[in-house]
Amino acid sequence: MRGYLLESHRGAATVETVMTGLEWEEIPWGPGHHAAARKLHKRITGFVAVCEDMPELHNTVTLDPDLKDSNGIPAPKISYTLSENSIKMMDHSIVRITEILEAAGATQTHAVAPIEYGGWHWLGTARMGTDPTTSVVNEWGRAHDVKNLFIVDGSIFVTSSGLNPTSTLQAMALYIADQMKQRLETLFD
Ligand SMILES: Cc1cc2nc3c(=O)[nH]c(=O)nc-3n(C[C@H](O)[C@H](O)[C@H](O)COP(=O)(O)OP(=O)(O)OC[C@H]3O[C@@H](n4cnc5c(N)ncnc54)[C@H](O)[C@@H]3O)c2cc1C
């Protein structure tokens, strides 16, 4: 279900090449380190797949019952499990990416999924929709429950989207501003 974006990267810089080589045990410490590093240097490239994660009721952001900051404000508690669909999408993307790299002449390939250090696209939790029981804002960004509150950011996305989100966020900001302008006289009714 849904899909993903493939993002090709330029080759890695020196330190990244060495760190990657160490992690994948292609480069040893000690004797042979320089020779192995030279072998990989300027010969690594890669792809990232940005998969569209679907909304699921068991994935939640709630207030932590115990953990608080120095002002006593509860910390957010994130509960998340990868869905079968997302796992299938990741597996599918790895097969496609491996095909592309091998067709381009790659002699070795490595895959990591999901990436360990990521989570850069924080989307959802106040999603847009026409039904107040399943969404937070209506189809033009106004909160269902609070008539003079508009939310205009990544939280109103309905899925994680299978791409980099900033252009869509900007388009939504323009769209919601336009909707507000058209409704000025009855905006908070
Ligand atoms: C490392 C990294 C790389 C990325 N690369 C890309 C990329 O290449 N392409 C792409 O499209 N997207 C990229 N993204 C994602 C993109 O930057 C975000 O999805 C986007 O900025 C989210 O916009 P936003 O308006 O929803 O939230 P944000 O830009 O996070 O804005 C939220 C704002 O609210 C403020 N705020 C928070 N709490 C309060 C409060 N209580 N009171 C007042 N203000 C508050 C914050 O200070 C912040 O200014 C990347 C993100 C990261 C972290």
pLDDT along the chain (189 residues), means of 10: 92 90 93 95 92 90 95 95 95 97 94 83 92 96 97 95 94 98 95
Task: Choose the residue to mutate in 136, 153, 163 for probing ligand 1, maximizing ligand atoms within 8 Å of C-beta.
Answer: 153
- Count Cα neighbours of 100 within 13 Å in the Cβ-side half-sphere: 15
Catalytic sites, residue numbers: 121
pTM of the model: 0.84
Atom of ligand 1 nearest to the CA of 152: 25
Integer Cα distance of 146 and 45 in angstroms: 49
Query: Which residue's CA lies nearest to atom 2 of ligand 1?
Result: 120
Tell me the CA–centroid distance for residue 1 and ligand 1, in Å: 27
Q: Where are the domains of the chain?
A: 1-120, 121-189
Q: Is 62 in the pocket of ligand 1 (CB under 6 A)?
A: no
Q: Is 121 in the pocket of ligand 1 (CB under 6 A)?
A: yes
Atom of ligand 1 nearest to the CA of 155: 26
At residue 122, the pLDDT reads: 86
| Positive or negative: CA dihedral 150, 77, 2, 108 | positive
At residue 120, the pLDDT reads: 82
Q: Is 120 in the pocket of ligand 1 (CB under 6 A)?
A: yes
Q: How far is CA 111 from CA 44, 45, 97, 99, in A?
A: 13, 12, 9, 12
Q: How far is CA 159 from CA 51, 52, 61, 86, in A?
A: 10, 7, 15, 12
Token pair for residue 10?
């330029």
Helices (H) and strands (E) in the chain, counts: 4, 4
